[in-house]
């Protein structure tokens, strides 16, 4: 398996949450990492916190010229491109009878289309290195949460895309995989205006007993799996659940939990 040391890695949505946690993990192991986000002040602060091995770029991945500039910075910073982590994403929720078409198009643009376009842009450079692409799916495709159809649909699209691109890019020695995180505290709900930090954290912690392991996850635990997919040289087209067992759909069976031992 490859080592992260000396790798050049591009991570979208790297200013917080899973993206920042993955950047920290990779920098600590000798990689040069380029991260991006829409807010210049936030992405610059995030990059500064990781030191000279990390470069931050203010970029909106739904904008073509921003994608081109982002790639140029990553190539300049790292000298090559070994891995692309398509982590940037937005949340949009609502009842199917109340969805706004423009909002729906926007979340597909960010979560699916922009990631496809950036992957295409990076492909020639990844091919030179036998590199890797990691998409971020979601446990929303394993468990049905009413009101989350827009977000779940984008993540289902990403998972289908992963398998097609694994087949399409395999001849160029590019590996394409998808990670499906369980409940991990990030800012995606807050960016969507759904709740504040405290409410979001309480909501996630309230889901602890739905996980087989009894707790929500951490960004470092997701980063470990990200690193594996960037480095594993004979893994492609895989969907890997890193969810503490949330996707198992655990429910209490009254016939068992209420049973009195004879």
Positions annotated as catalytic residues are 151
Give 130-160 as a 3 state SS string.
CCEEEEECCHHHCCCCCCCHHHHHHHHHHHH
Give yes or no for a contact between 16 and 89, defined as CB atoms under 8 angstroms apart: no
Token reading at 25: 């993990």
Q: Terminal CA-to-CA distance of the chain, rounded, Å? A: 53
Q: Which residues contact 194 (CB under 8 A, 6 or more apart)?
A: 91, 93, 200
Q: H helices of 11-63, where? A: 17-28, 40-50
| Among 149, 132, 131, CA closest to 140 | 149
């Amino acid at each position: 398996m490859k080592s992260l040391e000396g790798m050049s890695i591009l991570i979208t949505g790297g200013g917080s949450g899973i993206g920042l946690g993955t950047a920290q993990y990779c920098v600590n192991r000798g990689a040069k990492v380029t991260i991006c986000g829409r807010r210049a002040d936030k992405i610059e602060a995030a990059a500064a916190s990781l030191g000279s091995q990390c470069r931050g770029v203010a970029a909106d991945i739904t904008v073509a010229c921003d994608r081109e500039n982002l790639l140029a910075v990553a190539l300049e910073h790292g000298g090559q491109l070994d891995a692309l982590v398509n982590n940037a994403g937005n949340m949009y929720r609502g009842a199917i009878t109340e969805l706004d078409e423009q909002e729906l198009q926007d979340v597909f643009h960010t979560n699916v289309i922009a990631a496809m376009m950036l992957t295409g842009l990076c492909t020639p450079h990844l091919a030179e290195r036998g590199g890797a692409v990691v998409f971020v799916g979601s446990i929303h495709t394993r468990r049905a949460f009413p009101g989350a159809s827009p977000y779940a649909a984008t993540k289902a699209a990403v998972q289908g895309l992963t398998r097609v691109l694994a087949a399409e890019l395999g001849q160029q020695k590019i590996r394409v995989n998808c990670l499906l995180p369980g409940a991990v505290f990030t800012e995606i709900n807050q960016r969507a205006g759904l709740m504040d930090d405290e409410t979001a954290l309480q909501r996630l912690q309230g889901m602890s007993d739905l996980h087989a392991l009894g707790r929500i996850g951490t960004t470092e635990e997701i980063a470990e799996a990200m690193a594996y997919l960037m480095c594993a040289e004979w893994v492609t087209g895989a969907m890997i659940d890193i969810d503490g067992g949330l996707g198992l759909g655990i429910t209490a069976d009254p016939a068992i939990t209420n049973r009195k031992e004879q």
